[in-house]
Structure 1
Amino acid sequence: MPSNCSSISIIIAIRYWPKVAWSASCPAGMHWLPWKSSGKQGRYSLLSDYVRLDMSEAAWATLGLEPGADAEAVKRAYRRLAMRWHPDRNADPRATERFKEIRAAYDRLVEAEPVDHEAEAEESARESSPRAADIRLNLELALAEAAAGCRKTLVYVRARACSTCAGSGEYGIARTRFCPACHGSGRVHDDRRNLIACPECGGRGFFTERICPDCGGSGRETTSVSLDVRVPPGMLAGDELRLAGQGELGDGETDSGDLYLTIVLRSHPLFQLRGRDLHFRMPVSALLMLAGGDIELPGLTGGLTHRLAAGRPQPSELRLPGKGYPGRGSNPPGDLLVKFEPVFPQQLKAAQRKLLLQADAALMADLAASYPEIAAWRQANVPDGKPGS
């Protein structure tokens, strides 16, 4: 605070006494408070500037910076101090309070920065905030699971800050080891058998290492993660799920990365997926195709009943619009396409053969309607009902 704080305070108190209350403890800062808003924001500009100046000076000092340092310097100082004083990384009893002071100072200086909104928009378009690496994995699903949607438990490995060195890559206590070249003496013989300083250790006879023994200096360690993933219905092979913040863990200076899951569909023993259309082949009784009737069709999310029209038993295809693979978003559901293949009975038992002959006799009684081809042939070749006439 400036040395003439008291005189400035008295002048302000006399000028704005009806609107402010004054505390005599000037060095504590920011003691001029309006009793109520007058609706004239500019009236106390001198007072508000004085308060902001006092708080900003304290914030610069907290971060160890000279007043007026640029935004990048503020961010670097904050990150360095935050990593040092974070309560999870520092066992000092003062760490929590110190960390709060550092955060408050950073917020004060960032808040006080002028913002160029046009430049900010251009910058955000060019690059996003720093993030840790993303993780990309495949998520294998059965066709029915992907169609109906499901929940899957995913177990994977991701990196985080090393718990031993708190992500710094350096161990807190330096480790000393003897130089293997000079066996700790610091001296070796040259080609002429003269003693010289060991070139490996510089004559010290030992090495001092601060590399973290657990992460090898990388500052990262791996941990196994179990994650419950909800898969929405209608996803296709190659579609991606993005789980924000579930990638590699950030280190305090960067945000955590994202987890991307690429859908992989297992082949189905019956259905073939083409786009969103489902195709399959189905053998059908030739007698049912002849007589017509209801038939049960399988589906991914449940069966459905379809009525076959009576007709000639022959291979045919049925298309059921909207009964295929479910839609998603603006993509409509696909169609269900069935290829019917007529199958005739084999190895008839005596009772079955008798029933078929009875049915055939009933059909032959109305030959023109039941078997028009046979009726036409007989009329052309057996006009009086006797072959060879």
Structure 2
Amino acid sequence: MSDYYEILGVSRQASAEEIKKAYRKLARKLHPDVAGPDVADEFKEVTRAYEVLSNPEKRQLYDMGGESALGGGGGGAGFGGFQDIFETFFGAAAGGAPRGPVPRGRRGQDALVRLDIDLEEAVFGGSRDLQVDTAVVCGTCQGSCCRPGTSPRTCEVCHGRGSVQRVTRSFLGQVMATTACSACQGHGTVIPDPCPDCAGEGRVRTRRTINVQVPAGVDSGTRIRMTGQGEVGPGGGPAGDLYVEIREKPHPVFVRRGDDLHCTMGIPMTAAALGTVLPLESFDGPREVDVAPGTQPEQVVTLPGLGVGHLHRPGRGDLHVHLDVQVPTRLDERQRELLAELASLRGEEQPEARLAASGSGVFSKLREKLAGR
């Protein structure tokens, strides 16, 4: 079993700074670019030891149980761990192999637009045409970035590799570092004659019309994702996605709560007492509201299935009609006589106030409102 302290040549009480100093000294001596490929395994072993001992949590586990206590989290860092540590000291791609040219075409950005809809569109769903300003593939060069009839040319600096190697000096001595080619920005090719319409971007901005299918049940804040309808990327790269955020406009009659609709209908006191049938114009056309005899103020009549369509399942919510019983405020002499006669017949000339139970009436409604029900 390897002893990481022995590999770095430090004591078990060594500080973090002492461990770092020991690693740098060994790395300067054993790095393959300095000492040759024969010591590559020894250099990786030194790096693995540093990876564990420079991490307080891993070091504590190692001190308690050796390599086995790390559970594969250290002591087996492999090349990936070595590369990360090496780049931390010497910069990205230092000593690493060229990663190849970077593709010129890249994915475009996602886009977000907002769509205002009426309540009726939320109830049934619908189709809308939406104008969006976005980037599309250049029609002249078809995304090639070149003037028609020309083509990209291999970069003369990096010879198509997209990267160049240069010798830098560090505490290891001379180190070979790989960086992106500045002549071609890492693409491996240059555009000698860019397309005049897109200036070598492979895309242009324009306004286009997109058809949006609005499903029933959407609400303010709902986002509809349209895959591939966002902006085309540089170099004619694939388009991002378009997100359509819904904003529902208020309705003058109906109020939405979830997938249910609510409205208030005023009825005369006499109609509430005697019962009647009232017409209601719903989103589904004319409907009848059956007012039972003796209907009380704020009573609710429910019309099933006339609400908003459910977004993720079949069916619709309900329509709730809140009845507002209207007491007359202006009576002529004859109306007053008739009401007085009715009160006499019902023995209500001198009515006595009766306290309602705490679980019913206005107190119950007040509690429900305070509780948000």
The TM-score bracket by the shorter chain reads 0.3 to 0.5
Structure-1-length-normalised TM-score: 0.45
For the pair shown, the structure with the greater C-alpha radius of gyration is 1
Higher RCO (CA-CA < 8 Å; seq separation 6+): 2
Structure-2-length-normalised TM-score: 0.46
